[in-house]
Structure 1
Amino acid sequence: MNLKSGLLGIVIALFSLSGAARAAAPDPPAIDGHSYGLMDYQSGEIIAGQNIDAHVPPASITKVMTVYVAFDMIKQGRLKLTDTALVSQKAWAEGKDSSESRMFLTLGSRVTIEDLLRGIIIVSGNDASVALAEHIAGSEDAFAQIMNQYAQKLGMTNTHFVDASGMPNDQHYTSAHDLLILAHALIQNFPDDYKYFSEHEFKYGIEHPQQNRNGLLFKDPTVDGIKTGHTEAAGYCLLASAKRDGRRLISVVMGGQSWAYREQANQELLNYGFRNFDTASVLGAAAPVQSMRVYKGADNEVGVGTLDPVYLALPAGEKSQLQVQPQISGKLIAPLTAGQKVGEATILLAGKPLKTVPLVALKDVPAGGFWHRLVDQIKLWLGM
């Protein structure tokens, strides 16, 4: 699978803030549910959570992975939005005689992949999930194997899928932490396709449109996704994301007592994160931590740092207390290539370590001419 290379690097730098950093922020809201979590999107850090790695049934939040697989296959060119899928007996019958959500597909009809995706994302159609799974993999069982392969690549270590919809099954489980990882990957890897998750309604095969199950979309204009879930075993669940003033947070509540409470709890988590934390950016190609002498090179110095900014979720107002301590591995000798590791940097908050990151050369430094190399070699011998 052609998952974005940067994804696995970001899968994820998930770590909790140190006790010193967390002490500056108030406690998160008390959430009544099986588990919950709150992630700062840019840094990938978990800033609040409870029972975050416990196994829980995901119910229809499963469909985020169903959609993720389809988005990635579209990105690879193996699937098109305009392709059509045949509605099988199994897909048509899914949820037909129960209260389960469905898109109201017609048996034997052909439906575009785009309509199926909207039917899954917006109205949580079980019939659409099965039709999409069968079109991609031939059967829902085979598709579940693909889902598990993606989960493994994303680092979802507490997840196992057995179907595309999230029907109750003891072998079908995930964790709040894993759902945050999945949501992060979804938004990062498919920013153009993510727009479907903010659509308020969708009509297919019935007289009136069905509303998006995510009620936060109608209450908070900064919320733009993601997915609800509910079964008797799972309780009421919601994976949500909001963007305010350029910052994005992702929240998840599993096992709430009602649809209204899952919305309230996610709203409380999002408000808590936006009010009490900032996302700080340090380092990056435009902000070298220092310049280093280069021996035997066409240039005598090179900036060292990180090619991309390093993001940190910090208690509000604490950014001014950040410090960066570099440790260079040894003398730098050309040729060097941009991105070549030359040491490490420890990022500290109020003098206490938060994170260690590799330091790299920020540009290529080719070898210098013969005489320059010779002179520098002599300097190296003399310890100059």
Structure 2
Amino acid sequence: MEKEKTPRRSTRTARRKPLPVLLAALLAVAVCLVLLAAYTARRLDNPNLSPRTAAEEAMAVSVWRQTRQPGPDDVPGLHAWQWPEPTEALASSGNEIAANLHAVSALLVDAQTGAVLLEKNADAPIPPASMTKLVAMYTAFRAIETGEISFDDLVDLPPQSWAKNIPAGSSLMFLGEGQIVTVRELLLGMAIVSGNDAAIALAYHTAGSVEAFIDRMNTEMERLGLTKTRFVEPSGLSEFNTTTAREFAAFSREYIFRYPDALKAFNSRTRFEYPMPWNLPQGRRESPVIQASTNRLLTTLDGCDGLKTGFIYESGYNLALTAQRASDRFISVTMGGPGNGSYEGNLLRNSDGTSLMEWAFTNFTTIRCSQAQRQAVTVWAGTEDSVYAIPAEPAFFTAPRAIAAGTEPVSRILLNKAVRAPVFAGERLGTVEYLIDGTVCHTVPLIADRNSAASGLPRRLVDRVAEAFSELF
């Protein structure tokens, strides 16, 4: 009987089967790579990213500022001026100016940037004298801002504010019983002729009492981070009011930029007449007292438009001064000035202020660069696909006038295209560099405008792969 043959499988067929499997595997890998490449590209392109509101961006900037480590002498809004190249001649002339000042304490600052250009015993505590009234005005402006009072309010004058009840020798706007006066006129009387009577009347009208008004003044100083500036009364008569040149310069900068209209409306006025006919009760006739501003530099120093003088025996002759020429504005504070009588005291005080301002305008200028645009940054493994990197500071800086003349700075952005979660609003992500002739002269941090917490596990795994893939190219 013949044996039945078992069919034999073709070895060629057996060998062919792995090929389709391999091709399928390669195709699957290719599809995965294409999908991964598309996902990575989409993530890096940052679609559908909407800017935050101005208030939210301001909050991120506030967070960044709070995380900065201040130096031992730092005051909010001020910083030591630095330049990347040696400026021996400039430093030498500044030292000479400081050495020749008559005042015990002084500080000079670029109002726009907060850069401290010169100082002399700037942290010595000294009574501000009538410079106190500038803080009283600021406190009243805050109350006007919130609607508690208005410029046109008619003020009931308490007896404590009548000129006849103010200590002898005081500066006065000459308030009296029965007069009809507005908040605006009190502010003029304080700013122009340093009326102690006006300061008392304003305190009562704004807060109900001198004590309550002083609490407000001190609260404002605490809010601004000025820890060495405190007041016990609003006119400046007390030697127990205290500040430093550094802190009062920081306050003056805040005053100017928060209430810029105050300079023209109040602090730059050179003449004051009071009482006018409308200030007097019906039937009373009285000639107005005509007084010049206590700040004589308003009429002698080019560009001067503020701020406030001060004098008591315990403080010496003080002056918070500001001037603007073209787009440059500087602030100086001199305190503890000497003087054998008001004529000499004013002469030496004005000499110090003029020297500081002329030196500043001769040697420095404020460079204003275009603000960097928001930069989208991908966030791997985050609850937000992306965040914006926004400038944490304005693109202003103080430069030596001789170097900056006719030069246009260029900017350079240093920023990673992607970061890994978590990311926090206010966290520094990069830097904008501003260069003059190839030298970095100023830097501005770029910070996250929002939070992006770590995402769930599936998203983290996918994004880690995409992140690794992006780094290959």
* TM-score range for the pair, normalised by the shorter chain length: 0.7 to 0.9
Cα shift at 1:328: 4.2
Cα shift at 1:144: 1.3
- Residues 278 and 317, structure 1, Cα contact 8 Å, conserved in 2: no
Cα shift at 1:220: 2.3
> In structure 1, how many angstroms separate the alpha carbons of the residues matched to 2:371 and 2:199?
41
Greater CA deviation, 352-361 or 242-251?
352-361
Which residue of the partner structure matches residue 368 of structure 1? none
Cα shift at 1:327: 5.6
Deviations for 1:95-140, whole angstroms, at most 9, x for unmatched residues? 6462211011112434210111111111110000001011112221
Which residue of the partner structure matches residue 18 of structure 1? 82
Cα shift at 1:311: 1.9
Greater CA deviation, 188-197 or 36-45?
188-197
- Residues 377 and 416, structure 2, Cα contact 8 Å, conserved in 1: no
> In structure 1, how many angstroms separate the alpha carbons of the residues matched to 2:227 and 2:416?
34
Which residue of the partner structure matches residue 135 of structure 2? 65
The structure 2 residue matched to 1:280, chosen from 331, 343, 367, is: 367
Which residue of the partner structure matches residue 47 of structure 2? none
Q: Does 1:191 align with 2:290?
A: no
> Could you say if the C-alpha distance between residues 123 and 199 of structure 1 is closer, same or farther in structure 2, counting changes exceeding 3 Å?
same
Q: Does 1:37 align with 2:123?
A: no
Greater CA deviation, 40-49 or 16-25?
16-25
Which residue of the partner structure matches residue 81 of structure 1? 151
- Residues 39 and 251, structure 1, Cα contact 8 Å, conserved in 2: yes
- How many residues align structurally? 370
Which residue of the partner structure matches residue 264 of structure 1? 351
- Residues 81 and 112, structure 1, Cα contact 8 Å, conserved in 2: yes
> In structure 1, how many angstroms separate the alpha carbons of the residues matched to 2:142 and 2:206?
12
> In structure 2, how many angstroms separate the alpha carbons of the residues matched to 1:349 and 1:260?
42
Greater CA deviation, 230-239 or 316-325?
316-325
Letter in 2 for 1:23: E
1:145-156 equivalent positions in 2, closer than 5 A: 145-156=215-226
TM-score (norm 1): 0.82
Deviations for 1:1-28, whole angstroms, at most 9, x for unmatched residues? xxx9899969734121237555352432
Q: Does 1:310 align with 2:395?
A: yes
Cα shift at 1:260: 1.3
Q: Does 1:219 align with 2:300?
A: yes
Q: Does 1:239 align with 2:320?
A: yes
Deviations for 1:69-108, whole angstroms, at most 9, x for unmatched residues? 0011111111101112221121114664622110111124
Letter in 2 for 1:269: L
> Could you say if the C-alpha distance between residues 378 and 213 of structure 1 is closer, same or farther in structure 2, counting changes exceeding 3 Å?
same
Unmatched runs of 5 consecutive residues or more in structure 2 = 1-57, 67-74, 276-286, 340-344, 451-459
Which protein has the bigger strand share?
1
Letter in 2 for 1:358: P
> Could you say if the C-alpha distance between residues 259 and 281 of structure 1 is closer, same or farther in structure 2, counting changes exceeding 3 Å?
same
Secondary structure in 1 aligned to 2:140?
Answer: helix
Deviations for 1:42-79, whole angstroms, at most 9, x for unmatched residues? 10111111011110111101000000000111111111
Letter in 1 for 2:320: L
Greater CA deviation, 201-210 or 150-159?
201-210
Which residue of the partner structure matches residue 134 of structure 1? 204
Deviations for 1:236-286, whole angstroms, at most 9, x for unmatched residues? 111111011111101111122310111111111011111111212346235
Q: Does 1:162 align with 2:248?
A: no
Letter in 2 for 1:177: R
Identity of aligned residues (%): 32
- Residues 326 and 343, structure 1, Cα contact 8 Å, conserved in 2: no
Secondary structure in 1 aligned to 2:151?
Answer: coil
TM-score (norm 2): 0.68
> In structure 1, how many angstroms separate the alpha carbons of the residues matched to 2:192 and 2:182?
15
- Residues 342 and 359, structure 1, Cα contact 8 Å, conserved in 2: yes
CA RMSD of aligned residues (A): 3.9
- Residues 327 and 366, structure 2, Cα contact 8 Å, conserved in 1: no
Deviations for 1:308-356, whole angstroms, at most 9, x for unmatched residues? 533222222345698877664772479999x864514385889998776
Unmatched runs of 5 consecutive residues or more in structure 1 = 364-372
Greater CA deviation, 302-311 or 114-123?
302-311
Which protein has the bigger helix share?
2
Cα shift at 1:192: 1.9
